[in-house]
Amino acid sequence: MPDLIPVLDKETIAQKVDQIARQISSDYKDANLVMLGVLKGAFVFMADLVRCLDLKQVTVDFVRLESYGDRADSSGKIRVVQDVQVDIRDKDVLIVEDILDTGLTLEYLKNHLKRFQPRSVKICVMIDKFERRKVDVQAQYVGHKVKEGFLVGYGLDYAEAYRHLSGIYHLTF
């Protein structure tokens, strides 16, 4: 049976989300912000984050990406299963993702978004897992940095399990 070792509890996550939200609210005060969540992993983080924002106006949308090939690992072969629905032309897009690992997914998405001519594209991740980075993608807003390991909970899954957990755990086999 796999073991779940606590990494971040509910309260710590809430503090980190609030910190990020303050920074976003200040940075995007006069912007035309579109928060773009990456499904499925970002759904919990996104829901918490938008409710902490102190902004008059914000648009929310989601994309769904699929990496085909390997399971736990990003194979680098990515396709868009559900594309952006709102008009992001000249808008300030903030991609919201659960975890940044090799960086291949977010690099792909950043490139994909160029065709819609957004004014700016930045990245917000709950977890920055930096050891396996393959491409130079940077997140401007980061909840928590870890070097390695497979994390679950707070939207993060292992084979579709554990997304519902309110804390973040290190999964060990």
Residues of the shown chain interacting with ligand IMP in the complex, contacts defined by CB under 6 A: 41, 74, 97-105, 129, 150-152, 156
Among ligand IMP, Mg ion, none, partner that 151 touches (CB below 5 to 8 angstroms by kind)? ligand IMP
**Interface pick for Mg ion out of 7, 8, 20, 41 (rule CB under 5 A):** 41
Nearest-approach distance from CB 97 to ligand IMP, in angstroms: 6
Per-position DSSP letters for 15-31, written without gaps between them: HHHHHHHHHHHHHTTTS
Nearest-approach distance from CB 122 to ligand IMP, in angstroms: 16
The number of residues making up the chain comes to: 173
Q: Tell me how far CA of residue 149 lies from CA of 5, 107, 128, in angstroms.
A: 11, 21, 11
Nearest-approach distance from CB 90 to ligand IMP, in angstroms: 27
Cα separation, 172 vs 2, in Å, equals 5
Q: Tell me how far CA of residue 119 lies from CA of 12, 29, 89, 125, 148, in angstroms.
A: 33, 15, 7, 20, 33
If the CB atoms of residues 55 and 112 are measured against ligand IMP, the closer one turns out to be 112
* Residue of 101, 128, 136, 157 marked catalytic: 101
Whose CA is closest to 98, among 143, 149, 56, 162? 143
If the CB atoms of residues 116 and 150 are measured against ligand IMP, the closer one turns out to be 150
| 120-129 and 141-146 beta bridge pairing | parallel
If the CB atoms of residues 33 and 104 are measured against ligand IMP, the closer one turns out to be 104
Nearest-approach distance from CB 161 to Mg ion, in angstroms: 14
DSSP lists the bridge partners of residue 125 as 97, 142
Told to judge if 157 belongs to the known catalytic residues of this protein, a careful annotator would answer no
Catalytic residue IDs: 101
Chain residues binding Mg ion by CB under 5 A are 41
